[in-house]
Chains A and B, each alone.
Chain A
Amino acid sequence: MGKARTYLVFGALALIGAVSFGVVALNRGESVNAIWLVTAALCTYVVAYRFYARFIATKVLRLDALRPTPAVRRDDGLDYVPTPRNVLFGHHFAAIAGAGPLVGPVLAAQMGYLPGVIWILVGAVVAGAVQDMMVLFMSTRRDGKSLGDMIRNEMGPIPGVIAQIGVLMIMVIILAVLALVVVKALAESPWGAFTVAATIPIAIFMGLYTRYLRPGRVGEVSLIGVVLLVLAIIGGGHVATHPTLGPAFTLTGPTLAVAMMAYGFVASVIPVWLLLAPRDYLSTFLKIGAIAGLAVGILIVRPHIQMPAVTPFIDGTGPVFAGALFPFLFITIACGAVSGFHALISSGTTPKLLENESQIPLIGYGAMLCESFVAVMALIAATVLDPAVYFSMNSPVAVIGKDAASAAAAVAQWGFHIMPGELEQIARDVGEHSILSRAGGAPTLAVGMAHILSSVIGGKAMMAFWYHFAILFEALFILTTVDAGTRVCRFMVQDLLGLAVPKMRETQSWTANVAATALTVGLWGYFLYTGVVDPLGGINSLWPLFGIANQMLAAVALILGTVVLFKMKQQRYAWVTAVPTVWLLICTLTAGLQKLFHPDVRVGFLAHARQYQAALSDDRVLGPAKTAADMHRVIVNDYVNSALTAGFLFVVVVVTLYGVGACLKALRADGPTVREIPEAAHA
Chain B
Amino acid sequence: MRDDLFCRCRDVAISWGKTAQRTANLMIGQPDYDAYVRHAASRHPDDPPMDRTAFFRLHEARRFGAGGGGFRCC
Interchain Cβ contacts within 8 Å, total number: 127
Closest to A350 in B: B69
Closest to B58 in A: A78
Closest to A91 in B: B26
- B64 to chain A: which residues have CB within 8 Å? 272, 276-277, 484, 487
**Known contacts being A78-B31, A97-B73, is A83 close to B36, with CB within 8 Å?**
no
- B19 to chain A: which residues have CB within 8 Å? 84, 86-87
**Docked pose: A350 CA to B39 CA in angstroms:** 19
- Report A486 CB to chain B, min CB distance, Å: 10
- Report B60 CB to chain A, min CB distance, Å: 5
Contact with B along A400-429 (1 / 0, CB 8 A): 000000000000000000000000000000
Interface residue B13 (Cβ < 8 Å from any Cβ of A): no
**Docked pose: A285 CA to B24 CA in angstroms:** 8
**Docked pose: A668 CA to B28 CA in angstroms:** 46
Interface residue A196 (Cβ < 8 Å from any Cβ of B): no
Interface residue A195 (Cβ < 8 Å from any Cβ of B): no
Interface residue B57 (Cβ < 8 Å from any Cβ of A): yes
- A344 to chain B: which residues have CB within 8 Å? 71
Interface residue A95 (Cβ < 8 Å from any Cβ of B): yes
User: What is the total number of residues of chain B having a CB less than 8 Å from a CB of chain A?
Assistant: 39
**Docked pose: A345 CA to B23 CA in angstroms:** 17
- Report A351 CB to chain B, min CB distance, Å: 11
- B60 to chain A: which residues have CB within 8 Å? 272-273, 277
The main secondary structure of chain A at its interface with chain B is helix
**Inter-subunit contact A484/B72 (CB<8 Å):** yes
Interface residue A485 (Cβ < 8 Å from any Cβ of B): yes
**Known contacts being A98-B74, A272-B64, A341-B74, is A88 close to B26, with CB within 8 Å?**
yes
From B23, B31, B57, B70, give the contact of A273 (CB < 8 A): B57
**Docked pose: A349 CA to B19 CA in angstroms:** 19
Closest to A271 in B: B61
**Docked pose: A91 CA to B35 CA in angstroms:** 16
**Inter-subunit contact B56/A215 (CB<8 Å):** yes
**Inter-subunit contact A216/B69 (CB<8 Å):** no
**Inter-subunit contact B28/A345 (CB<8 Å):** no
- B52 to chain A: which residues have CB within 8 Å? 215-216
Closest to A285 in B: B24
Name B14-58 residues within 8 Å CB distance of A: 19, 21-32, 35-36, 38-40, 43, 52-53, 55-58
- A97 to chain B: which residues have CB within 8 Å? 73
**Docked pose: A88 CA to B23 CA in angstroms:** 7
Report B's interface with A, CB cutoff 8 A: 19, 21-32, 35-36, 38-40, 43, 52-53, 55-61, 63-67, 69-74
Given contacts A95-B72, A484-B64, 16 further A-B contacts (CB under 8 A): A77-B40, A83-B26, A84-B19, A98-B72, A98-B73, A178-B74, A216-B55, A218-B28, A273-B60, A277-B63, A288-B27, A353-B31, A481-B72, A481-B74, A484-B70, A488-B70
Report A's interface with B, CB cutoff 8 A: 75-78, 81, 83-84, 86-88, 90-91, 94-100, 174, 178, 210, 215-216, 218-219, 272-273, 276-277, 280-281, 284-285, 288, 335, 339, 341-342, 344-345, 348-349, 353, 477, 480-481, 484-485, 487-488, 491, 507, 546, 550
| Top-3 shortest CB links A-B | A77-B39, A216-B56, A90-B23
